[in-house]
Amino acid sequence: MTAEARPAAPPLTERQEARRRGILRAGAQLAGRGGFEAVQMREVADAAGVALGTLYRYFPSKVHLLVAIMQDQLQHLQVTLRRRPPAGDDAAQRVAETLMRAFRALQRDPHLADAMVRALTFADRGVSPEVDAVSRLTTAIVLDAMGLEEPTQEQLSVVRVIEHTWHSALITWLSGRESIAQVKRDIETVCGLIDLSADTR
């Protein structure tokens, strides 16, 4: 029931890499309809043309799978952002623009967003390493937008708070308790902390 240690993943063969990609694609597609609940492990295995046991060898749980999908999407986002970086004048504006861009991307596929974000916040300790990887990626994206190389402790806390707000605002939006406009306002509000920490520097 508890997770095992991670003894340095062995390199995957080409076919294995292809299988992995196929599983991620199938999972994302199923998430695209129906969200979290529509991602059923048997269906994912079917759609990916792989046995159920194999699916579980690649991703030890549904949450692992969805977190891996999120990591995948975030990497795409990061590439896109590097191609066209946010253009605001100060750090707060750039971070807000970055997050709003990500938010608009999620709005294009709210079901997929639902599956990924719910998995991320529902993950228990057994998925910590994977969730942590996603978190580091998100941090990197925000720090990129801020233009920081060596953040202070204080700035790191601000970034954490921004990420907290980001995740939780998404959750409330996905469950229909907060409007798109409110999410936008929350993002802009929390980005106010960046100026604050710059002043206090």
Contacts to its own copies by CB under 8 A: 36-37, 118, 121-125, 127-128, 131-132, 135, 154, 157-158, 160-161, 163-165, 167-169, 171-172, 175-178, 182, 185-186, 189-190, 192-193, 196
- Cα(139)–Cα(128) distance, rounded to whole angstroms? 16
Q: Work out the end-to-end distance of the chain between its first and last CA atoms, rounded to an integer number of angstroms.
A: 46
Asked if 160 and 151 count as a contact pair (C-beta separation under 8 A), the reply is no
Which residue number, 39 or 145, has a Cβ lying nearer to DNA? 39
Residue 112 CB, nearest distance to its own copies (Å)?
15
Which residue number, 42 or 83, has a Cβ lying nearer to DNA? 42
Alpha helices for 39-127 (secondary structure H): 41-48, 52-58, 62-83, 91-108, 110-122
Which residue number, 78 or 135, has a Cβ lying nearer to its own copies? 135
Q: Choose the contact partner of 41 out of DNA, its own copies, none; CB within 5 to 8 A by kind.
A: DNA
For the chain, give me the number of helices (H) and strands (E)?
A: 10, 0
Cα atoms in the Cβ-side hemisphere of radius 13 Å centred on 178: 17
Residue 190 CB, nearest distance to its own copies (Å)?
5
Q: Could you tell me how many residues make up the chain?
A: 201
Which residues bind to DNA, rule: CB under 7 A? 1, 10, 13, 15-16, 19, 37, 39-42, 49-54, 56-58, 60-63
Residue 165 CB, nearest distance to its own copies (Å)?
4
**Residue owning tokens 């100060």:** 90
Q: Choose the contact partner of 164 out of DNA, its own copies, none; CB within 5 to 8 A by kind.
A: its own copies
Residue 168 CB, nearest distance to DNA (Å)?
22
Asked if 162 and 190 count as a contact pair (C-beta separation under 8 A), the reply is yes
